[in-house]
Structure 1
């Protein structure tokens, strides 16, 4: 969700180091600097929230034109929740600089976290849909390579063996993800991002170190997809012209 993944990587790295150094003597100065840097990176990113909100609205409008129902619904809802998240986050920033101190910080932070959580759930739903499609394609491709007579029987034979237990299913899953790195990276990033809102909403409490590590992994994946656009997951079908 972050347009500037390198700043998130720095922020989460500072968060992790702060926790590691928190209980060690003689590290107070380093600890304060790390916490200040983490806070500065978080505050600095808020200056770009308005642009991110506009980008999310435009992305929602584009995804609403996708021909397939599931990607169209999931991505549109995800982008709209993302836009609402940036609205809530901007209000929190306005309160933090003292323009509207009457804004309920706790309430709006929880609303922002909910929007972030719903956006990630929709992204993961779309990832799951895409994964199912890709696994079916992989099963058909592998079945077509067999030497048994008609193709339909080959596919059914291959699929029946794969659905015979957990191990064959995991084999097909790994094979599919290996053949589709953008899907693997997008799913990994969304799963890592999910740890923070789950903890903040009290759905699943997570250790701060785990949240920091997940944030670092997510940011590194974001940097990788920016550096290599071919690794960024595209919708299952192109938007019709």
Structure 2
């Protein structure tokens, strides 16, 4: 109970719970819409999803400051590739949150002359860029871990555990084995990769790059939210900058 209280006392923790609720409603609504007699339930889920989405906007108002701080920290990363990916990703997050704040100002009626659709597209575009750069960081980290696992295997002369004649199949099995071991030994990297892959579905759909049905968006958002909950609840699962 104490752990739950500490989690919900954090702004990020409350936002993750609301986000999980929002995308659960979206997923359930998609699953129930084709069924007869579920119109009232679908309407309630739609209203709840909209209310939760509106509530989450309040929690995101201070995210610009956090993104600026993250940018300042990433500038000092020792690895050049990580420094470049993280700094650019955080800069895009700053712009995204600025757009988000402008949309919030428009939604509460403080400025009616704001072009809502234009700012929404800008927010989605910079969110997409941020996720692409974050995924590039994940892939780079995975390649480093695979290289390390390969060196350790070579030093110990550990057998790969398969025997195939085809060289392409042999290479693929070796690659998948190294990938599995690298992610298994580094849960924060696995969690961050899964989260970013699931998150990128939404901007892909919003920008029209690839259309997904609401069920896929809802499932991706739910998985990403659960990963985010784990990261907030267990700080040791957060991928560190080095």
TM-score of the two chains, using structure 2 as the length reference: 0.87
Aligned twin of 1:191: 197
Any gaps of 5 or more consecutive residues in structure 1? 148-160
* 1:104 has 2:115 as partner: yes
CA distance in 2 between partners of 1:66 and 1:175 (Å): 26
Any gaps of 5 or more consecutive residues in structure 2? 1-10, 159-166
CA distance in 1 between partners of 2:192 and 2:168 (Å): 25
* 1:231 has 2:234 as partner: no
1:99 positional shift: 1.7
1:162 positional shift: 10
Structure number with greater CO (CA < 8 Å, separation at least 6) is 2
Aligned twin of 1:155: none
1:73 to 55, 69, 84: 84
1:21 positional shift: 2.1
1:142-221 alignment runs, 5 A limit: 142-146=153-157, 165-221=171-227
Alpha-carbon displacement from aligned partner over 1:5-31 (angstroms, at most 9, x marks no partner): 111100000011112222333322222
1:75-94 alignment runs, 5 A limit: 75-94=86-105
Counterpart contact for 1:162–1:168, Cα < 8 Å: no
CA distance in 1 between partners of 2:168 and 2:18 (Å): 43
Aligned twin of 1:222: 228
Aligned twin of 2:42: 31
> Aligned residues, how many?
222
Alpha-carbon displacement from aligned partner over 1:76-102 (angstroms, at most 9, x marks no partner): 111111111111111111111222121
* 1:13 has 2:24 as partner: yes
Q: Matched residue of 2:139: which SS?
A: helix
Aligned twin of 1:47: 58
2:74 to 41, 60, 63: 63
Counterpart contact for 1:65–1:72, Cα < 8 Å: yes
1:175 positional shift: 1.1
CA RMSD of aligned residues (A): 1.8
CA distance in 1 between partners of 2:169 and 2:146 (Å): 12
